[in-house]
Structure formats: structure tokens, C-alpha cells
Amino acid sequence: MIRLPRVPVPEDFTAPAHSPRVAARLGLWLGIAFGLCFVTGLLSHNIQHPPGWFDWPTRPVNLYRITQGTHVLSGIAAVPLLLAKLWSVYPRLFVRPPLRRPVRLVGHGLERISILVLVCAAFFELVTGIFNVAQSYPWRFFFPAAHHAVAWLAVGALLVHVAVKLPVARAVWRRGGRRPAGPDGEPGPAAGDGEPDPAASGRRAFLRTSAGAAGVAVLATAGVTVPALRRISPLAWRSATGPQGVPVNRTSAAAGIVVPADWRLEVVWPGGRRTLSLADLAALPQRTADLPIACVEGWSASANWTGVSVVDLLTHSGAPTGHPVRVSSLEAAGLYSASTLPARHATDPLTLLALRINGEVLHPDHGYPCRIIAPSRPGVLQTKWVARLEVLG
Ligand SMILES: Nc1nc2c(c(=O)[nH]1)N[C@H]1C(S)=C(S)[C@@H](COP(=O)(O)O)O[C@H]1N2
Ligand SMILES: [Mo]
């Protein structure tokens, strides 16, 4: 039989923060945060790279703003919760594996590998996500692809971990349920003896601190997307406003945009083509709507946009409607120089080729001469400096 040296368990490892009840409770909270993050992240991925079966609604107009705000804020809440969880369970790293029975040894090994994958993947997702909202890319891989792939790894390892730990968590909750619950749902003092239970209050204090830290982290940043919190969020990365009261990610100068003096919008469809000047566009019936820019980085801002409905523009040009529309910009290169409106968005009357924002002609940084602004869309697909619309028949 293999014999490993026995690692002494320091006194502190029996502290309330390290109890299985605390680990189980933090695991539940972390599971909820990761679950929200995963589902909203997948939605965002599918909207940007729609598979055939995927159909994203255009209403409510703030839908993407809400799902992506949830994505970023649940990720932020997960940071303190993950640290608290690791603090709670790290003594278990030093627990001697049960070596007597080989089957348990294999189980133990698998469990530890899944935890290693889970912890690495979770850190990777949270750290790259935070660097991304800060628009800093100190690495060589393409952020969206890596962030998406590792999310699957994290969720796979999380499911294995939950399956392995479910019996422990269940036992903890069943045991907790026998005694009257305290204010946090934690078991209160043992009934009968009238003495306060110091371990229970220690556990509650640790859980309260962890939840508090997650709450503070969310409040400190939620102003990027929740207008009511704008003034109390010191860490909001895009609460500062750009020209015309709306933040800007990529300026016209950064994108190298030069609008030619003879600029014309080109509308193409199978078997037809038409060009329109800015004066032609302005002479068409205009529509005004309050719609948000909701960046994938979590910041969002609503504005009042005026322009021509894409569907009206196509009809006026003699182009067919009911098809996806490819939008290209004056930007020569650049990841976001073009986008495709799915048929549903291309036929929604609120999908505008905007000429004005908050009553003024578009600032160059907001896409002058015209830009796409559609309801319930990620910011990256709200193409600025539009040059061409192509109906994909
Ligand atoms: N042509 C072009 N359009 C673009 C971009 C770009 O880089 N090039 N950036 C997009 C991104 S990521 C966002 S969030 C919005 C921001 O619009 P705003 O600068 O008017 O707020 O524009 C989008 N439209
Ligand atoms: Mo964006």
C-alpha cells in the first residue's frame, strides 16, 4: 500500500469559514453567478455568430442591454465569491487522499483534476473579461474566441464538480434544516440550550462579508449600464460621456475615416442597385426612436435617434424586403467594419439608418454621415460610417 506523509492540519482549518456549510453556500451563489454569466455569454455569442436555428427578438429594445449587463455584472460578482470560496475550501487541498480503496483514489484524482480545470478556467474567464472591459489586451489570442471556448471548459468542469459534491451539499442542507434557520438561512443556534453557537455566527459573518463584497463590486460598476446608478459607481469604465452625450469606443480618427465629398449610400440587391446622397436620405420620411447602444463590454447608453427605417429605405429604392441585409462601412479594415442584419431586424421599422442623434447631425465619432441603430442589438453590430447596404437574397 502507498503511504503518503501525513500533512498536519493547522488549528485554523477548523475555523467556521472553512466549514462545508460555508463552502456549499458559496458554491450555490457562485453557481448562480456562473450560470447567469454562461447563459448570457452564449446568447451574446449566438447573436454575433447566429447559427441557423437561432432567432433573436427585436423587442424589448433594451433586451440585449439587459442580457449583456447581466453578463458583465454577474462576472464581477463572481470575483469576490470565487476568492471567498477558494479561501473556504483550500484546507481541503491538504486532506490526505483515502488510499485504502483504489476506486476512491481514482475518484479523488478525477475530482481534483476537475477542480484544477474549473479554477483555472474560472480565473481565465474572469481575468480576461475584466481586461476586455478595460479594453486592454495584453495577450496574443483573440479574446472573444478564447473567452467562448474556455467558458465551455469551465461549465463542463463545474458540472462534474457539482455532480461530485451534490451528496455533500445535500447532507449539509439536510443537517442545517433540522434546526430553526437564522437570518441568512443558516442554521440558527441549537434549539434548547439557549447558548449562542459561536461557529454558526462565525459562518454567518464570513458569508455576510462575502455577499457584501460581491454587492459592493456590483454597485461600484453597475453605473456603466444602469442609469440610476451612474453617480454611485466609481469604477464604471464608461460612464464618462462622449460627444452628444454618448460614449464612443472607436473614434472616426482611430478608424481612419475620410468621408468623400461625393459620398453616396449604395443600396444593392440581386439584380438591382441604387445610390442615394445624404440629401436624398434626409428627404425620405424620417423616424425618431429612443434606442440604446449596448456594447458587449457591458456599458450602455440610450439616445434619441432620427433617420430612415431600413425597411422603408429598401422599399423606396425598389429593393426586396424580408431578407438579411449586409451593412458595410467606409472603414477599410477593422473587425467591426461590417455587420449583417438578420431578416427580423432588417424588417423591423425601428431599425434605422440614423442621420441624427439627440436632435443633432451625427458627430463623426458616432458615424457621420449615417450609421445603423437597431433595437436589441450588440453595439459591435451597430455599424458606423455606413457606405453600402446589400440585400442578401
Ligand atoms: N464601422 C464601425 N462601426 C462600429 C464600430 C467600429 O469599430 N467600426 N464599433 C462598434 C462598437 S464596438 C460599438 S460599442 C458602437 C459604439 O457606438 P458609439 O461610438 O456611437 O457609441 O459602435 C459600433 N460601430
Ligand atoms: Mo462595443
Atom of ligand 1 nearest to the CA of 366: 20
pLDDT in the model for residue 107: 77
What residues line ligand 1, using a CB cutoff of 6 Å?
246-250, 255, 293, 295, 329, 331, 334, 336-337, 365-366, 379-380, 382-385
The residues of the chain scoring below 70 in pLDDT are 1-13, 97-103, 176-194, 239-240
pLDDT in the model for residue 254: 94
The C-alpha atoms of residue 6 and residue 3 are separated, in whole angstroms, by 9
pLDDT in the model for residue 168: 86
pLDDT in the model for residue 239: 58
The C-alpha atoms of residue 309 and residue 315 are separated, in whole angstroms, by 10
Per-residue pLDDT reduced to its tens digit, 236-291: 887 567 999 999 999 999 999 999 999 999 999 999 999 999 999 999 999 999 99
Residue 279, judged by CB atoms within 10 A of its CB (0-12, 13-18, 19+), counts as exposed
pLDDT in the model for residue 258: 97
pLDDT above 90 coverage of the chain, percent: 77
Ligand 1 pocket test: pick from 246, 297, 336, 389 the residue with the most ligand atoms within 8 Å of its Cβ: 336
Residue nearest to atom 6 of ligand 1 (CA): 336
pLDDT in the model for residue 9: 52
Ligand 1 pocket test: pick from 384, 385, 388, 389 the residue with the most ligand atoms within 8 Å of its Cβ: 384
Per-residue pLDDT reduced to its tens digit, 159-213: 999 998 898 889 988 876 555 444 444 444 444 455 778 899 999 999 999 999 9
102 grid coordinates: 483504489
pLDDT in the model for residue 192: 46
pLDDT in the model for residue 101: 66
Rg (CA), the chain: 27
Domains (ranges, CATH) in the chain?
A: 16-181+200-232 (no CATH), 252-391 (3.90.420.10)
pLDDT in the model for residue 236: 86
pLDDT in the model for residue 190: 47
The full DSSP string for 19-71 is: SHHHHHHHHHHHHHHHHHHHHHHHHHHHHHS--TT------STTHHHHHHHHH
pLDDT in the model for residue 4: 58
